[in-house]
Structure formats: C-alpha cells, structure tokens
Amino acid sequence: MAILRAMPLARAVGCCLAAASLLTGLDGAITAQEVGAAELKAAFLSNFAKFTEWPAATPAVGQPFQFCVIGDGSVAVALEQALSRQPARDTRKVTLIKLDGPLGRCQLVYAAGLDSRQMAQLIASVRGQPVFTVAENAHFAEAGGVAQLIEEGGRFRFAINADAAQRNHLSLHARLLSLAKLVKDGPDATR
C-alpha cells in the first residue's frame, strides 16, 4: 500500500473504510442475513434433497447421490461447497450437465436459464423417473416440474407440485409441503 502512504487524503479514506469494516463486523448479526443468490439456491437444493425420499434402489448401490446443475456454474460451485461441509460428503456428487445430457442418472436436477420449450423438454425427459426437478421459470411447477424457486423482493420461496413428485416416485416430507406453495398440474402440464 505504498501508494496510499504517499497521500494524506487517501490515508483518510483508507482509515474510514477500515473503521467501517470494523463497525460492520460488530454489526454482523444483522448484515449477515444477506447472502449470495447462488449460495441461497444451493441451500434450497440441499434441503429439497434432505426432505425427500427416493425409491429404494435410487441411486444404485455404490453410486453417489447425483445433484445435476444445468446452466449455472455458480450454483454448482455453491452446492459443492455446501455439501463439503456436511457429513457423508462422499456419498453425494455435483455435476454440471447440459439439458441434453444424461438426466436419468441424476437424482435432483436444477436448471437455470431455460426458455419455455426447454423447460417442457426437461420435464418430459425425466417423466416417470425418480428425478427431482427444480427451476425458476414461471409456471414450472404447474407445467409438471417438481419444485419451482420463486424470488420475491430478494427472498426466495418455493412451489411444489405433489402430483409431479408422485409421478416421479418421490415421497416428500410433510415439512417440505407445509412450507411450499402447493400447486397442481396446469392445463399445459407435461403429464
């Protein structure tokens, strides 16, 4: 910081910021309520998996539980980090895939940036298979997706389509359902 030393004004500003960061440190209890969007989404995904039961043979014996992420590397990174802090980390794996990748091998798929046609493609391609689908598209759950993340004023809620979960042989805990906005198949649902 030789540059800063040379300048009284710069030093003043530097001190100000240092003081500010100290203050905010003390203030951590309040400000820490803000997190990165990717971290928050990853935490939701991790919780969805926690409160869902897959059929007995899923994943196959010896295979890790597969979280698959389409279209948003930052969520994959955040999820990988979140899982690495939890016990039994070796039994779960995060993979970045494409929409036309091997979706059937995933237990949970989070897809970002899909248009409405791609959204329908995702739902159709795992229909009847034990795959928990998550996206943020409007009406994703009505269209036959299992869970839809909904951002409102910087906070996230989620919608669940229990029929879609049942079609994919997933059993959802009451805890998950009690917090979700419950939706049914819409007229255009990919059944």
Contact letters for other proteins, residues 95-114 (x by CB under 8 A): xxxxxxx----------x--
Q: Which of 138, 177, 179, 182 binds other proteins (CB under 8 A)?
A: 179
Cβ 115 vs Cβ 139: under 8 Å:
no
Largest Cα span, the chain? 69
Distances (CA, A) of 15 to 7, 9, 20, 149: 12, 10, 8, 42
| Distance (Å, whole) CA 73 – CA 156 | 19
Q: Which two tokens stand for residue 44?
A: 């939701």
Give the range of 22-30, 54-62, 124-132, 182-190 binding other proteins by CB under 8 A: 22-30
Candidates 30-38, 52-60, 123-131, 163-171; binding stretch for other proteins (CB under 8 A) = 30-38
> Cβ of residue 16: shortest distance to other proteins, in angstroms?
7
Q: Which residue has the tokens 């255009």?
A: 188
Pairing of strands 147-152, 132-135: parallel
Taking CB under 8 A as the binding criterion, the range among 52-60, 125-133, 139-147, 171-179 that sits at the site for other proteins is 171-179
CA dist., res. 89 & res. 15, Å (int):
42
Q: Which residues, in sequence order, are bridge partners of residue 156?
A: 151
Q: Tell me the number of residues near other proteins by CB under 8 A.
A: 69
Point out which residues bind other proteins (CB under 8 A). 3-4, 6-7, 9-10, 13-14, 16-17, 20-21, 23-25, 27-28, 31-40, 42-44, 46-47, 51, 71-74, 76-78, 80-82, 84-86, 94-101, 112, 115-118, 121, 151, 153-157, 175-176, 179
